[in-house]
Amino acid sequence: MAEDGPAAREVVSERRCRGCGAELLYRDRGRPRTWCKDCEIAAKKAAYYEEHKAEIAAKKAAYYEEHKAEIAAKQAAYREEHKAEIAAKQAAYYEEHKAEIAAKQAAYREEHKAEIAAKKAAYYEEHKAEIAAKQAAYYEEHKAEIAAKQAAYYEEHKAEIAAKKAAYREEHKAEIAAKQAAYYEEHKAEIAAKQAAYYEESRTCNVCDERLCQPSADGLCGFCREEFAA
């Protein structure tokens, strides 16, 4: 017969906790438990939250609204104090999940590309003067470096660039010819004036400004050429 009172013997039930699988102890009388104490408490908490979640959310929102400046200050202070640790964790997480992150980002962009393009266009339209000023300032500061990089890239890839240009011209030659003809038709007076000015300029000697009967390859008249050759 089982003992009564606090000294009743505890034995291990053949059952295990439905929540965590832990062995269940019970006094050797009555029906064995089906949940351990920790899981029973957690289940009660979950049931309470499910029943009162709207009320809890409202209280949290009200608390946040009342204390948001204080909360933001604490968060900022925590980030400042632990920024090296946070950065290390973020870098480690990214390194571990970078393929998954890249796939999610690509899927998001594909799904929202029209919306993203519209936002970019709206942002650019609103800030185009500021963007142009920043680009001009950056270019002015780094133009030697930019020119060197462009020259190095061209030197390394010039065969590929030439092939791409030739392929593009071949594919779009009708369109290119139409654009050139339209441009010439629109600017023919200006083009003729520039050609005439260039021709007129090339018919004077570069040294003595004497008028040449015909433009010369070296830009010199016969007298100046002989003088330089002497």
Q: Which residues of the chain have pLDDT under 50?
A: 1-5, 7-8
| pLDDT value of position 4 | 47
| pLDDT value of position 112 | 98
| pLDDT value of position 216 | 77
| pLDDT value of position 2 | 39
| pLDDT value of position 3 | 43
Tens of pLDDT, residues 64-86: 999 999 999 999 999 999 999 99
Taking the C-alpha atoms of residue 200 and residue 205, their distance in angstroms, rounded to an integer, is 11
Taking the C-alpha atoms of residue 219 and residue 199, their distance in angstroms, rounded to an integer, is 12
Q: What Rg value do the Cα atoms of the chain yield, rounded?
A: 41
Tens of pLDDT, residues 23-43: 877 666 667 778 888 898 988
